[in-house]
Structure 1
Amino acid sequence: MYNNHFEIFELPVSFDINKDTLAQRYRDLQRAVHPDKYANAPDRDRRLAMQKTVQINEAFQTLKNPLTRAGYLLHLQGIDQNDGIMDGEFLMTQMDLREELADIKQKSLPIEAFLSRMEKQMQSLIDTLSQQFAQENWQAAHDSVRQFQFFTRLHEDALRLEEELI
């Protein structure tokens, strides 16, 4: 078995990964342990192939997404991404943005500009996390991951609202 998800795909333990390499190695591994290859194998071998398939899928899902990859990197450092108290200023920002989204819903205002701002904020956080992880600044990365979680949820809420408004 493997020590971490990065090892499965022979990638360096890093926030910045080559997504094409990840996808290619995922496909290669999936072919290697595909259940059809073990259809006539003993039960033990079929079970092991299924366990490897589950592990590969879980690792791929974690690493392909920047938010879950960041949380996983914190986990490898023994840091729970959900621990701690948010900065007071950021809590105020959260409330303001939630109010803005509620106003958009209540007044049926255009949502495109709001969505664009959330996407830019998430990209900015990805760039920030890249630097923080490269510098092994775990506490700052933890705080950025918490912000990234908020903006991701808010973006998802805004997308749902956009569907309602159409």
Structure 2
Amino acid sequence: MYQLRHIILPFNSLRTFSSTSVTCWKCSKQLNIRLEGNSNIMQLYFCGCQHNVVLSPTTNTDYFQLLGFSKSYEIDKRALARSYRMLQSYLHPDKFANKSKLEQLYSSEQSSLVNKAYSTLAKPYTRALYLLEQVGLTISEKDTGTGSDPSFLMRIMELNEVLAEHPSRDTLVKMKEENEGNLSDCEKELIVHFESGNYKMAKEVLGKMKYYHNLQDNMEEQLMS
């Protein structure tokens, strides 16, 4: 079960990652971990010593590194899901039911961290939020995303008024399709802005995306009722 140091998970690029370190609680060895290219991501989770025990979570590793990816908004969702499933197949607490209390604790913490990382990166909106947070930017209620387009909020208000009247199912389906197109356009813009490092514009697009997501939730709720 613990012979993991030769398992390699897929990376979405060959960029160099930062280094981190952790001390194995079993053998007391200081592990200096450098994730570079297609390095073995499992070294973040298991010690390569003879004990092959699960490690305590590192404190300075970002969500992308935890799942074996370089930091980028554009991501292979299928590869992300494969990496997540692979990690959970080794880290899930059920795998440690007969191990020491400490290993049970660390496996639970690692599994929970991987869950959180995956749920954040799997969704375009939360992935963008996370990337902005990494450079010290956050989205607040005041961030409308209107920028140089003052008609945006008016259009959102009009759509909300239509939804408040509980339109027909056909109308809802058409509105939902249009809104999904708007979300797709936002994602394409975010790819460009994050790639170029234009975080100000990325934040503006994300502000608009927030409204589109609220509309989407409303439409889906009505379609399910």
TM-score by length of 1: 0.90
Instruction: Report which of the two structures shows the higher radius of gyration computed on alpha carbons.
Output: 2
Aligned position for 2:117: 59
CA distance in 2, matches of 1:4, 1:82: 23
**What residue number does 2:160 align with?**
98
**Equivalence for 1:143:** 204
Deviation at 1:106, TM superposition (A): 5.9
Does 2:76 align with 1:18? yes
Distance 2:139 2:118 in 1: 19
Deviation at 1:108, TM superposition (A): 7.4
Unpaired segments ≥5 residues, structure 2: 1-57
Superposed CA RMSD in Å reads 1.7
Distance 2:143 2:74 in 1: 27
Are the aligned partners of 2:172 and 2:219 in contact in 1 as well (CA < 8 Å)?
yes
1:89-128 matches, cutoff 5 A: 89-103=151-165, 105=166, 110-128=171-189
Structure 1 residues 107, 20: CA separation in 2 closer, same or farther (over 3 Å shift)?
closer
More divergent stretch after superposition (16-25 vs 81-90):
81-90
Aligned length: 163
Identity %: 26
Which residue is equivalent to 1:73?
Answer: 131
Tell me how far 1:83 sits from its aligned partner: 6.1
CA distance in 2, matches of 1:51, 1:162: 38
Decide which moves more: 14-23 or 74-83: 74-83
Is 2:95 aligned against 1:37?
A: yes
1:37 & 1:106 partners in 2: Cα distance? 50
The alpha-carbon deviation at position 110 of structure 1 amounts to: 2.6
Aligned counterpart, 2:27: none
- How far apart, in 1, do the equivalents of 2:86 and 2:157 lie? 45
Structure 1's unaligned 5+ residue stretches are none
Looking at secondary structure, tell me which structure has more strand per residue: 2
Larger helix proportion, structure 1 or 2? 1
Match of 2:215 in 1: 154
Does 14-23 or 83-92 show the bigger shift?
83-92
